[in-house]
Amino acid sequence: MALNFTDQGGSIFERITGENIKKRFAIILDEKVESAPVIQSRIAGGHAQITMGARDPDIQLADSKKLELVLRSGALPAPITKSNEQRIGPSLGRQSIRLAVQGALGGAIMVVVFMIIYYRRAGIIADLAVGTNLFLQLAILASFGASMTLPGIAGLALTMGMSVDSNVLINERIREEMRDGKSARAAVEVGYGRALSAIVDGHLTTLIAGVVLAQYGTGPIKGFAVTLIVGTLTSIFCGVIVSRTMFDFWVHGRSRSAKLDMG
């Protein structure tokens, strides 16, 4: 098998072969040694010949063609040139997130105002519980290193609605007990007791759906599912523990005839 070099390559090859007589000259492509002939003498003039070791002419021909392909593949230049350039900015994604945040904040503000108008002081307690729920949810997601996406914002809005729904259920139960003539403390005690099972059942079904989505979903679906799972757990905690603590402080020391301002 014959090799031809350029003038510069021939002079380099002559120097290398002169310094490595009786040593192997490895031909490597993609970190694999394809052939390693022994240098018999200094090779000058830019011409070289590789003697294939096989005695069978067919095997020699096949090995020669294979080695030729290796040498040609390694010699082919593959320069990278810029033919076209396009830049895509984050304006569309930024606008979508901004609109999603505006929608979530707008809905939250409307819910907060409605709760205060409809339930008065009890509505303020419900709003504080919802705010605590949102804070805990964001804190937990931040501790996991989660980034806020559009599905995540949707999950936050959904869990806020679930938290409000829990407080509405509790407030209505307390109202019913007060209409039956119970004292403020007894109404809160019985109201929470009767609302607890409904709250847990509703959140449990949502939690199961979130776990299934997180297990089998990918990408945005998984992000929504994670936010939903965290929000469901914090919603139960805030609806049952946080708001109950606030109600206990509110009714502490009240007389049996005292009424709660619940609209």
- One-character DSSP codes across 98-136: HHHHHHHHHHHHHHHHHHHHHHTHHHHHHHHHHHHHHHH
Threshold 0.75, pTM exceeds: no
Q: Determine the pLDDT at residue 256.
A: 60
Structure tokens at 203: 């959140």
- CA dist 231 → 7, 85, 151 (Å): 73, 43, 13
Q: Give 203: exposed, middle or buried? Use CB within 10 Å, 0-12, 13-18, 19+.
A: buried
CATH, domain 2-74, list 1.10.10.10, 3.30.1360.200, 1.20.1740.10, 3.40.50.720: 3.30.1360.200
Distance CA 136, CA 129 (A): 11
Cα-Cα-Cα-Cα dihedral of 233, 237, 239, 245, to 10°?
-170
Extents of the domains making up the chain: 2-74, 93-251
Q: Determine the pLDDT at residue 253.
A: 64
Name which of 140, 251, 148 is nearest 191 in CA terms.
251
Q: Determine the pLDDT at residue 71.
A: 67
Q: What residues does 116 pair with on adjacent strands?
A: none
Q: Determine the pLDDT at residue 184.
A: 79
Q: Determine the pLDDT at residue 173.
A: 86
Please report, in tens digits, the pLDDT of each residue of the chain (263 residues total): 677 777 887 788 788 888 888 888 777 766 777 777 777 788 787 777 777 666 667 776 777 777 667 666 655 555 667 777 776 655 556 777 777 778 778 888 888 888 888 888 888 888 888 888 888 888 888 887 777 777 777 788 888 888 888 888 888 888 888 888 787 788 888 888 888 888 888 888 888 988 888 888 777 788 888 888 888 888 888 888 888 888 888 877 665 656 676 76
Q: Determine the pLDDT at residue 77.
A: 55
CB atoms within 10 A of CB 41: 9
Domains 2-74 and 93-251 alike in fold? no
Helix (H) or strand (E) holding 47: strand 47-49
Distance CA 29, CA 72 (A): 10
Q: Determine the pLDDT at residue 143.
A: 86
- Name the DSSP class of 38: B
Cβ–Cβ < 8 Å for 255, 185: no
Fold entry, domain 93-251: Multidrug efflux transporter AcrB transmembrane fold (1.20.1640)
